[in-house]
Structure 1
Amino acid sequence: MNRTFRKYHRAIALIISIPLLLTVLTGMAVTVVREWSFINTGIPSRVILSIHTGEIFHLAAIYPILNGLGLIGLLVTGLSMSSLFRRRKTPKEF
């Protein structure tokens, strides 16, 4: 079972890594552009924000849901592979 979860965890991680990385980087970029006015990127913050929300790809309605489902999938498979929820074997007395 652990091998199956590793296979799913690897597949989910490969699929979700690009959208999640895009979300994180554009979220940081929006903050930098808006709050640190001395850094001039030449890109308006509304363009970066439209990439961040998926609006530029016409995915604004489902982009956050897909990111969230991907992260939940990674959490479930990652936690299931950890030893947090395994029953400990009690030593048998002789």
Structure 2
Amino acid sequence: MKRAFRRYHRILAIAISIPLTVTVLTGMIITIVREWPIATGLSSSFLLSIHTGEIFRLQAIYPILNGLGLIGLLVTGLSMSGLFNSKRQTKRN
């Protein structure tokens, strides 16, 4: 079972890495552009359209796909971690 979860985890990680990286980086850059007096030449509205997926016409589904991908990674990662194993070690004397 762990082998299957590792395979799913690996596939999910590859699939979600690019959209999640774009979301994180644009979110950080938007904060820098808006809050710090640094002339980057980037407009925050353009960055926000990338951040929300509007530039790709995916604004309705982009956050849902990011969220579902992260939930999938959490489920597969936690299942592989062994935190929820039903086997309890018994004390031997």
Aligned length: 93
State how far apart, in whole Å, the 2-side matches of 1:52 and 1:92 are: 53
How far residue 89 of structure 1 moved from its aligned partner, in angstroms, is 4.0
Match of 2:11 in 1: 11
State how far apart, in whole Å, the 1-side matches of 2:92 and 2:18 are: 52
Q: Structure 1, unaligned stretches of length 5 or more? A: none
How far residue 68 of structure 1 moved from its aligned partner, in angstroms, is 0.1
1:32-51 correspondence runs (5 A): 32-37=32-37, 39-51=38-50
| TM value normalised by structure 2 | 0.94
How far residue 88 of structure 1 moved from its aligned partner, in angstroms, is 3.1
Task: Give the share of equivalent positions with the same residue, in percent.
Answer: 68
Residues 68-89 of structure 1, C-alpha deviation per residue, up to 9 Å, x if partnerless? 0000000000000011001234
Match of 2:27 in 1: 27
State how far apart, in whole Å, the 1-side matches of 2:22 and 2:56 are: 12
1:49-60 correspondence runs (5 A): 49-60=48-59
State how far apart, in whole Å, the 2-side matches of 1:90 and 1:55 are: 52
Match of 1:74 in 2: 73
